[in-house]
Amino acid sequence: METVEKTTVEVLNPTEHQSILTAEALTFLSLLHQKFNLKRIELLKNRETQQEVFDQGFSPKFPKETESVRNSVWTAAPIPEKLLDRRVEITGPVDRKMVINALNSGAKIFMADFEDSCSPTFENLMEGQQNLIEAIRKTITLELNGKTYKLNKDTATLLVRPRGLHLEDKNLICNEENLSGSLVDFGLYFFHNVVELQKQNLGIYLYLPKIEHYTEARWCNEVFEFAQNYFKIPIGTIKATVLIETITASFQLDEIIYELKNHIAGLNCGRWDYIFSYIKKLKSHPDFMVPDRDQVTMTSPFMSAYSLRVIQVCHKRNILAIGGMAAQIPIKNDEEANKIAFEKVKADKEREVKNGHDGTWVAHPGLVSLAMKVFDENMPTKNQMHIKRGELNITEEQLLELPKGTITENGVRKNINVGILYLESWLNGTGAAALYNLMEDAATAEISKAQLWLWLKKEVKLDNGILVSKTLYEKIIQEELVKIEEYVGAERFKSGQFELATRLFSNMINSEKLDDFLTLEAYNYIK
């Protein structure tokens, strides 16, 4: 490693995980902060500037300045063997039990998540880093309820998703500034594991969330180059898959791949955040409206166009196109309901593989075999990069087409109910919440929040003729809190943080301005 001037990172929250926050690791974090944080803040300001343009009625477009990138012939650097077959990926937070079970699930890939399915308490984050260190070295075990959990001989390949550019870590301070959550998660994981992974002929494999513009991909690339040079290891040791989960990124696929061409392995259709982004970016357009969350599916024209474009552009540039999340989880003690849920998952995965996707996501180990069977039957090769979809011509208009459907009282109730339940779970340190037989994370809660805000702001009428108003919301919130208490039980309701969650959620949906992310405000209330 190169010699560097020591700069202090102050740790505000005492932690048992001193082996994670070593002097050398903190020095590495301080270097990342000093070199890249100012640019990160500038990129976030660019997002705000762009939002002001959208709020004036303008729509996303294919950038004119990068036309040559889109139209010229080039491909990304080769993908490592371990990442060529990704037909089923399981995702989940970085707690010990999840890490072991996911790696043992039979999936090809496990995405260990510091982002949307992880409540970023300092303990969760540090424990997560420790769990990954042990997982990579095959030493991770867990004793729980008389059962011993340990890794099988063959496990899924590990990918890690750091927090997005917008999130800071209030527990780590450098030069009186909070460190970037993305740099902390990446920096610690890279620092502690890159040498060991190289010994195993593996690399640092990542997922990059919430990217909105190709300049943000360029920033990530510069971080990667710096980290690799710092450890004097080959460029390309890091391989990243970018989540296409913002509407603006959909218009810049070639550009994002190009900026990361030495470090990119694929793009993923992060469908839930994508719907949230669609609402957030276009909310001020006069005729803009979206129906109930359940009615916005991958068959909605704008969602289908986005998914197909990801496949087309990925395969043109010789990288993988990974499909979206099946949020369903197995339903115990109700065989009929479980059968219906599994049929939905099967249909979703069949559509993805037949469209040309190279893999897909599930949230629960119980769905791995189903998804695997669908892809095995329809994809005999490691991937489908040979299917170029050159016949497609996805237009700007198709990517923006408004979804059809209705806004119902049931949709309002569901958004309020699930929004409060999820936020309360997150405040308690659990970022992946099993609610009503679905695995909810921050992305799905963001849709609930954004829809409710939009419907109120635009004073829409429900399909039963009732006007959406603050009075209606307040009435429904009180009624749904009764249902929530029944759902979780009186004792859990009393001991939980439902009052705080309700207040925060109500403030967000009644706010004059749509909050960028619900987790930004809620983060003030966790350690």
Residue 10 belongs to what H/E stretch?
A: strand 10-11
- Give the separation between CA 226 and CA 222, rounded to whole angstroms: 6
- Give the separation between CA 130 and CA 416, rounded to whole angstroms: 36
Place of tokens 């992946």: 432
Q: Which is the catalytic residue, given 40, 87, 161, 163?
A: 161
DSSP letter string, 140-200: -EEEETTEEEE--SS-PEEEEEPPPTT-EEEEEEETTEEEEHHHHHHHHHHHHHHHHHHHT
Residue of 294, 402, 241, 511 lying closest to 520 (CA atoms): 511
Total number of residues shown for the chain: 527
- 3-state SS, 250-308, equals HCCHHHHHHHCCCCEEEEEECHHHHHHHHHHHHCCCCCCCCCCHHHCCCCCHHHHHHHH
CB count within 10 Å of CB 229 equals 11
E strands present in 13-134: 88-93, 109-113
What's the count of helices (H) and strands (E) in the chain, helices before strands?
Answer: 19, 15
DSSP 51: H
φ and ψ of 3, to 5 deg: -75, 135
Place of tokens 């009644």: 510
φ and ψ of 285, to 5 deg: -65, 135
Residue 95 CA from chain centroid, whole number = 17
Residue 492 CA from chain centroid, whole number = 28
- Give the separation between CA 142 and CA 308, rounded to whole angstroms: 42
- Give the separation between CA 179 and CA 6, rounded to whole angstroms: 16
- Give the separation between CA 90 and CA 363, rounded to whole angstroms: 6
- Give the separation between CA 371 and CA 366, rounded to whole angstroms: 10
**What radius of gyration, in Å, describes the C-alpha atoms of the chain?**
22
Place of tokens 């932690």: 15
DSSP letter string, 411-458: HHHHHHHHHHHHHHHHHTT-SSEEETTEEE-HHHHHHHHHHHHHHHHT
Take residue 22 and report the two structure tokens written for it: 């070593």
CB count within 10 Å of CB 83 equals 22
116 carries an active-site annotation: no
Q: Which is the catalytic residue, given 169, 292, 441, 515?
A: 441
- Give the separation between CA 186 and CA 224, rounded to whole angstroms: 9
Residue of 208, 240, 82 lying closest to 155 (CA atoms): 82
309 carries an active-site annotation: no
φ and ψ of 179, to 5 deg: -75, 155
Catalytically annotated residues:
161, 441
